[in-house]
Amino acid sequence: MRRSIAALVSLVALLCGFGCGPDADIAAAVRIQSVSSGWIDEGPLHGNRKLVPTISVTLKNASGRTLTMLQVNALFRRVGDEDEWGTGFVTAAGSEGLPPGGVAAVTVTSPLGYTGSESGREKLANTQFVDARVDLFAKYGSARWTRLGQYRISRQLLAR
């Protein structure tokens, strides 16, 4: 009887280990190595030009394990406004994972921005222009989203 109880307890512990998902701290496991941001002029759209915020980051796996299904979510907001303005979601590493020490470069662009008749440069120079910021979150596997940081979108025009 004791042997079967011990075997059952061992089996439950083993199954919990497989089913409980990743246990690494994503904030410690993923390091942001570089950040660049700015605005992209998406060109003519129904007689106007659309300018959208974008951010590019290089992520490094600082943990000792492969991070599978590493995903990044970006929430864009206008400076001074807490309402979400736009979002973007990208996969940094798919099922093959990001190995220990590995890096992944991702770019996230908001689908929303400013539309008008001015060029991108003119929009950025306009006194009514409101800057943007982005909150970056990451997760891998079935782990919860973890905030990696908040960054201001640089007031510069980027090439597409």
Which of the four CATH numbers 1.10.510.10, 2.60.40.10, 1.10.3720.10, 3.40.50.300 does domain 24-158 have?
A: 2.60.40.10
pLDDT of residue 7: 44
Report the C-alpha gap between 63 and 15 in whole angstroms: 24
The whole-angstrom distance between residue 5's C-alpha and the CA centroid of its chain comes to: 46
User: Can you give the residue ranges of every domain in the chain?
Assistant: 24-158
pLDDT of residue 15: 39
pLDDT of residue 23: 56
The answer to whether 53 and 39 are in contact (CB under 8 A) is yes
In the chain (160 residues long), the average pLDDT of successive 10-residue segments reads: 46 40 75 96 89 97 93 97 96 93 97 93 94 96 92 94
